Amino acid sequence: MTDLARQFRCEVDPDPPLVRVFGDVDIDSRDVLAATIRDLLEGRDGATVVLDLAGVTFLDSSGLAVLAGVLNSGHGLTIRNPPPIVQRIIEATGLDDVVHVDP
Amino acid sequence: MTVLDLLDEETPRLGYAVTAPGGGARFMVYAEAALPVDKTAVVQPDSAFEDLDYSLHLGPEASPEALIFASTSELPLDGRSAREAIPFGDTELLLTMAPTEQLGGSLNAALPAIVLATGVPATVAAGALTETLQRRRRHAERLAADNEQLLGEQRTSFAAFQRSLLPRGIPAVAEVEVEVRYVAGDVGTYVGGDWYDLIDTSGSIVVVVGDVSGRGLAAASAMAAMRHTVATLASMGLSPDEVLTRAAQLAVRAEDGHFATVVVGALDKVGRTFTVASAGHPPPLVAAAGDARWMELVVGPPICFGPPGSYRSSTTAIPDDAAVLLVTDGLYERRGETVDEGMDRLRRLAGATLRTSDALGPSVDRLIGEMTGGAASDDTAAVAIRWRT
């Protein structure tokens, strides 16, 4: 895995709300991701955001906390294209019940 | 240590900084001055030095990169010239002077004397500046020492706070040997949200291991609330799934995304079975006869991760010679490794380490030591339990 692929970045589609996430989602990038989603959902109570995680190279509990924050603020969350490492974390932490996953 | 550097941007600048003792990038004193864009400063026509060109460089080399400024763009000043190095901090300023025209006679003869005359005041000025900087540095060093002490005290009180949240020793239970460990990771001064608990009820021994996401006081406070909720519910004799379902209903969902993974297991003293439910937490490992396996569980969602979930308990028999190990994921999570690889590493090592013939405490220490390589990156809580024979 090249360093460039691991570099965190995200792209946003405003309508319907979609964030494409790339690279490592960890303690260094979680605040940027959380702020991006917050800005995107500003003024749209209860809206569902789609996170396309196809480009994610690493996700730890800091990254999961971003997802928890989205749900805890009353928004819906759909995960799209989770790579195997993310799929496994979702299964291992019993998140398939609360997060809608589009393969 | 004093450093001096040229910042070669659109507007070149000369900066100096006194860094903190012990290195790093902490500046104690920092100042900078803009330089002329073309780095040329013309000598006034009526000045005593109008027949001289000069250049000032940072460091011992008269290279274009090191140029601070000069009276001419035709550099370097070679031919008949004189140089003086003026000590400054841990480097030096190089002053070079040369006649503007290749004249013979008195100017050439006087040149070294002129350089000396210019260099001496410059040296004195640099010396005075160095003295000022050193005074400021001593002051900064005192501040740094004070800060260091405060940070140390803060770290100590965080550690004390963390310890105050963990069970003060664990209840002695007649039927089982228990070993508990909390290993602080090297991720900084902030306390983490890992915890363990052991509650002895009349029919069973309830073991709890949990992990509140995040670090710092908010995570530690959320952990304390969660720990006491779970312990209280468990002490009332509720089954592990009921404990988690109620705890999830009682917990306050935080928009900053603190969530908790918790595993609750009730060890039946009579039936010698282990009944376990998990909220997003790794299942217990059961090690026996040189092998270990992860208990099969229906893992429900973490607590405070969206609306409250529901949980299910699973039960397995715990043979007399088996050891049960409950951990937080800090023990096996590695960047560049999948969850399954990490869990399998722990499983194999637990099988080899938690042997019936060995004392439980040293085995647990050896297992944690080998998993973390002696330096855990994340916090880890672990509970190992085995029937007394």
8 Å CB contact of B280 and A94: yes
8 Å CB contact of A71 and B256: no
Q: List phi, psi (to 5°) of B335.
A: -70, 140
- In this complex, which of B258, B281, B301 lies closest to A95 when CB atoms are compared? B301
What is the amino acid identity at position B375?
A
A25-62 pLDDT, tens digit each: 988 899 999 999 999 999 998 899 999 999 999 998 88
Long-range contacts at A34-42 (CB < 8 A, ≥ 24 apart): A34/A66, A34/A69, A34/B257, A36/A10, A36/A12, A37/A66, A37/A70, A40/A12, A40/A14, A41/A17, A41/A70, A41/A73, A41/A75
8 Å CB contact of A95 and B333: no
- In this complex, which of B281, B282, B305 lies closest to A71 when CB atoms are compared? B305
- In this complex, which of A61, A66, A98 lies closest to B309 when CB atoms are compared? A98
Q: Which residues of A touch B309 (CB under 8 A)?
A: 94, 97-98
8 Å CB contact of B300 and A34: no
Residue A75 confidence (pLDDT) above 80: yes
8 Å CB contact of B214 and A88: no
ipTM confidence score: 0.90
What is the amino acid identity at position B351?
G
Q: How far is B187 from B190, CA to CA, in rounded Å? A: 8
- In this complex, which of B280, B309, B338 lies closest to A85 when CB atoms are compared? B338
Q: Which residues of B touch A41 (CB under 8 A)?
A: none
Q: How far is B67 from B12, CA to CA, in rounded Å? A: 10
Q: Which residues of B touch A89 (CB under 8 A)?
A: 339
Q: List phi, psi (to 5°) of B348.
A: -65, -40
Distance from CA of B282 to the nearest CA of A (A): 7
Q: How far is B273 from B266, CA to CA, in rounded Å? A: 8
The set of residues, in sequence order, having a beta carbon less than 8 Å from that of B257 and lying 6+ positions away, is A34, A65, A66, A67, A68, A69, A72, B213, B214
- In this complex, which of A34, A64, A89 lies closest to B213 when CB atoms are compared? A64
Q: How far is B278 from B181, CA to CA, in rounded Å? A: 20
B272 by Cβ neighbours in 10 Å (0-12 / 13-18 / 19+) ranks as middle
8 Å CB contact of A85 and B339: yes
Strand order in the sheet with B91-99: B67-70, B52-58, B91-99, B82-88
Q: How far is B195 from B174, CA to CA, in rounded Å? A: 23
**Predicted local confidence at residue A61, as pLDDT:** 87
What six digits make up the tokens of B362? Answer: 């040293």
- In this complex, which of A34, A65, A91 lies closest to B259 when CB atoms are compared? A65
Q: How far is B69 from B174, CA to CA, in rounded Å? A: 83
Q: Please name the residue ranges forming H helices in chain B.
A: 106-165, 217-235, 240-250, 339-353, 360-372
8 Å CB contact of B306 and A61: no
**Predicted local confidence at residue B264, as pLDDT:** 98
- Is the CB of residue A10 less than 8 Å from the CB of residue A32? yes
**Predicted local confidence at residue B190, as pLDDT:** 58
Per-residue confidence of chain B (389 residues) as pLDDT tens digits? 566 777 777 777 777 777 766 655 566 667 777 777 777 776 667 666 677 788 888 888 888 888 887 887 777 777 777 777 777 777 788 888 777 765 555 666 676 777 777 777 777 777 777 777 777 778 888 888 888 887 777 777 766 776 677 666 788 899 999 999 988 776 555 567 889 999 999 889 999 999 998 877 778 888 888 999 999 999 999 999 999 999 999 987 776 678 999 999 999 999 999 999 999 999 999 999 889 999 999 999 999 998 899 999 999 999 999 999 999 998 998 877 888 999 999 999 999 999 888 899 999 999 999 998 867 677 889 999 999 97
Contact pairs from chain A to chain B, CB under 8 Å: 86
Q: How far is B268 from B316, CA to CA, in rounded Å? A: 10
8 Å CB contact of A93 and B301: yes
CA A61 to chain centre: 12
**Predicted local confidence at residue B320, as pLDDT:** 93
What six digits make up the tokens of B19? Answer: 């860094």
Mean pLDDT of A2-15: 85
- Is the CB of residue B246 less than 8 Å from the CB of residue B238? yes
8 Å CB contact of B254 and A72: yes
Return the residue in B211, B255, B327, B337 with the most chain A beta carbons within 10 A, the one to mutate for interface testing: B255
DSSP states of B3-22 as a string? EEEEE-SSS-EEEEEEEPTT
Task: Output the pTM of the full model.
Answer: 0.68
